[in-house]
């Protein structure tokens, strides 16, 4: 297969918060990998901007360290590292004051693509936007990249949207949800809209239910103070899982175009019904061996924040009324695995006697990570003589095996940053989408806060609280096993 990567033009990318964790772990190593892939045009500049008092040389040394720590050693090629480091520059900046802005203006070239990545606390978004605009550093073609958390409720999300909209047009704003940068998440759209096979069955008439699972083995240690104010609902459901749900449930957009795709996602969010208290289960992990439990990780021994949540959701529209979407996500679970499973209904009539086999539903599983791929569980005849006996087998496709080298599962961040430079907003959340997601999330959170609900404890290394099993059992269904 010939690579058909869309080239990008020369650019200046400014990273605010360039000394922070995200920049060192994801953004800068990701950009290095794009240099290695030959995708960053010569002459482009990557300008770190942060409070730390250092010069460009010291910043380059920091970035070299980040590459050594976060890039696969097999991909560390000295010439490419040198090429990347030569693109770097650094400005000491005071986000709330005046210091450094003239220096920055002198470095950013107005005649190439300009992008500004706000890898900083959301409370600084407004200050940065105002200074970039008023000082004429970011013009009408500049791109502004922001990260989650994009608010912690509808009111704060609206305030952030306004802080950006006061200075920039929506077409300039790129809100990252890194799940949308994952290869398999984009593959959801390819599978749905580039094949005729699934669409006729993709509705409540044929789909019994959908399960979306994002399970993690890590706890929240090290980021307890952020997480404790957030919890699984704000940290994962309002954004990443909502995006997955939208891509599964949305109508075909008329074109793979930013607003066409986002319009359809927005309709799904707006059609989501509120979740009744008995349709959700919240949990908190317990200590295991030397590993602390949630209450120790969060540093609040009384915390009621959930590290696990399972929800049964309904989408009230013509396509999906009658098909529940079960969502679950949690920390310190049995395995790190993310998948979407679409379980189809039984055929209307069976021509085979029950004695002749063990009929099971067709299930389409899309594995997001690890081992990205798809698996369609089908009934076939059990081999051998002795009559017609049925057995379920998987039609299994691992993208790595099917595509070999081409499977190159590029990190979500580097893919998204390249889309920013290309000016393609398809994989970024629009302001109204984020607000609609909070409008759905807020009353659910307010409900459990008003009731004073405590999350149920669960053992680390399991599949979460027992009541989450009941959420499906009482509907005569069961969760898929959490395993790698």
Catalytic residues: 240
The answer to whether the CB of 362 falls within 8 A of the CB of 379 is yes
> How far is Cα 390 from Cα 394, in angstroms, rounded to an integer?
13
Q: How far is the CB of 59 from ligand BG6 (least distance, A)?
A: 26
> How far is Cα 481 from Cα 469, in angstroms, rounded to an integer?
11
> Residue 109 has which token pair?
């070239």
| Residue 312 assigned ligand-binding role | no
Q: How far is the CB of 338 from ligand BG6 (least distance, A)?
A: 6
> Residue 435 has which token pair?
């607000």
Beta bridge partners of 390: 357, 381
The answer to whether the CB of 336 falls within 8 A of the CB of 213 is no
**Nearer CB in complex with ligand BG6: 213/362:** 213
CA-wise closest residue to 186 among 396, 32, 410, 9 = 410
- At 454 the three-state DSSP class reads coil
| Residue 162 assigned ligand-binding role | no
Q: How far is the CB of 255 from ligand BG6 (least distance, A)?
A: 28
Q: How many residues does the chain have?
A: 484
**Nearer CB in complex with ligand BG6: 62/338:** 338
| Residue 182 assigned ligand-binding role | yes
Cβ-based neighbour number of residue 148 at 10 Å: 18
| Residue 257 assigned ligand-binding role | no
**Nearer CB in complex with ligand BG6: 235/435:** 235
| Residue 475 assigned ligand-binding role | no
**Nearer CB in complex with ligand BG6: 64/175:** 175
Q: How far is the CB of 341 from ligand BG6 (least distance, A)?
A: 17
Give yes or no for a cis peptide into 236 (omega within 30° of 0).
no
Q: How far is the CB of 70 from ligand BG6 (least distance, A)?
A: 14
> How far is Cα 138 from Cα 164, in angstroms, rounded to an integer?
12
- Rounded to the nearest 10 degrees, the angle between the axes of helix 28-36 and helix 78-87 is 120
> How far is Cα 32 from Cα 36, in angstroms, rounded to an integer?
6
**Nearer CB in complex with ligand BG6: 137/327:** 327
Q: How far is the CB of 235 from ligand BG6 (least distance, A)?
A: 5
For 78, residues 6+ apart whose C-beta sits below 8 A from its C-beta are none
| Residue 21 assigned ligand-binding role | no
Q: How far is the CB of 482 from ligand BG6 (least distance, A)?
A: 14
> How far is Cα 232 from Cα 235, in angstroms, rounded to an integer?
5
CA-wise closest residue to 246 among 383, 426, 48 = 426
**Nearer CB in complex with ligand BG6: 282/377:** 282
DSSP notation for 433-445: HHHHHHHHHHHHH
- Return the DSSP state at 221: T
**Nearer CB in complex with ligand BG6: 104/368:** 368
Q: How far is the CB of 111 from ligand BG6 (least distance, A)?
A: 35
**Nearer CB in complex with ligand BG6: 235/414:** 235
- Return the DSSP state at 123: G
> How far is Cα 468 from Cα 334, in angstroms, rounded to an integer?
15
- ∠ at Cα 180 (178, 182), nearest 5°? 80
> How far is Cα 145 from Cα 102, in angstroms, rounded to an integer?
21
> How far is Cα 139 from Cα 111, in angstroms, rounded to an integer?
10
- Which residues contact ligand BG6 (rule: CB under 6 A)? 216, 235, 338
The answer to whether the CB of 329 falls within 8 A of the CB of 236 is yes
Query: In angstroms, what CA-CA distances link 227 with 137, 149, 222, 303, 355?
Result: 34, 11, 10, 11, 52
| Residue 349 assigned ligand-binding role | no
Q: Which residue of the chain is nearest ligand BG6 when measured via CB?
A: 235
> How far is Cα 223 from Cα 126, in angstroms, rounded to an integer?
24
Binding site listing: 51, 148, 178, 182, 216, 235, 331
Binding site listing for substrate: 178, 182, 216, 235, 331
Binding site listing for NADP(+): 51, 148
């Amino acid at each position: 297969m010939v690579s058909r990567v869309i080239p990008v033009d020369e650019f200046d990318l400014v990273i605010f918060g360039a000394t922070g964790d995200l920049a060192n772990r994801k953004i800068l190593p990701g950009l290095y990998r794009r240099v290695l892939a030959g995708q960053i045009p010569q002459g482009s500049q990557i300008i770190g901007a942060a409070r730390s008092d250092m010069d460009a040389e010291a910043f380059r040394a920091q970035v070299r360290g980040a590459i050594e720590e976060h890039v696969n050693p097999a991909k560390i090629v000295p010439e490419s590292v040198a090429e990347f480091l030569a693109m770097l520059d650094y400005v000491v900046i005071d986000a709330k004051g005046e210091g450094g802005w003239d220096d920055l203006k002198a470095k950013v070239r107005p005649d190439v693509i300009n992008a500004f990545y706000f890898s900083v606390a959301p409370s600084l978004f407004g200050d940065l936007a105002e200074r970039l605009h008023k000082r004429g550093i970011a013009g009408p073609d500049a791109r502004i990249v922001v990260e989650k958390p994009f608010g912690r409720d509808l009111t704060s999300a609206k305030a952030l949207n306004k802080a950006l909209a006061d200075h920039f047009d929506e077409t300039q704003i790129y809100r990252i949800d890194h799940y949308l940068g994952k290869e398999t998440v984009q593959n959801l759209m390819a599978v749905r809209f580039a094949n005729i096979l699934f669409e006729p069955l993709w509705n409540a008439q044929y789909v019994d239910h959908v399960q979306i699972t994002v399970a993690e083995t890590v706890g929240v240690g090290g980021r307890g103070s952020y997480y404790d104010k957030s919890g699984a609902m704000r940290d994962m459901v309002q954004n990443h899982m909502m995006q997955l749900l939208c891509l599964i449930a949305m109508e075909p957009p008329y074109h793979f175009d930013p607003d066409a795709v986002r319009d359809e996602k927005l309709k799904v969010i707006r059609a989501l019904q509120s979740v009744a208290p008995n349709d959700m289960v919240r949990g908190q992990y317990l200590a295991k061996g030397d590993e602390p439990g949630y209450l120790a990780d969060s540093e609040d021994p009384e915390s009621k924040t959930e590290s696990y949540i399972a929800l049964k959701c309904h989408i009230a529209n013509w396509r999906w009324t009658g098909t529940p979407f079960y969502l679950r996500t949690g920390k310190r679970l049995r395995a790190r695995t993310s998948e979407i499973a679409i379980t189809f209904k039984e055929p209307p009539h069976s021509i085979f006697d029950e004695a002749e086999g063990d009929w099971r539903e067709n299930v389409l599983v899309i594995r997001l990570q690890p081992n990205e791929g798809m698996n369609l569980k089908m009934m076939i005849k059990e081999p051998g003589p002795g009559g017609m006996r049925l057995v379920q087998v998987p039609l299994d496709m691992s993208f790595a095996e099917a595509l070999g080298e081409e499977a190159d599962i590029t990190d979500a961040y580097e893919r998204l940053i390249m889309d920013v430079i290309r000016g393609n907003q398809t994989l970024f959340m629009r302001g109204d989408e984020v607000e609609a997601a909070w409008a759905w999330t807020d009353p659910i959170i307010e409900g459990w806060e008003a009731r004073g609900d405590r999350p149920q404890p669960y053992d680390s290394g399991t599949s979460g609280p027992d009541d989450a099993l009941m959420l499906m059992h009482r509907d005569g269904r069961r969760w898929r096993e959490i395993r790698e």
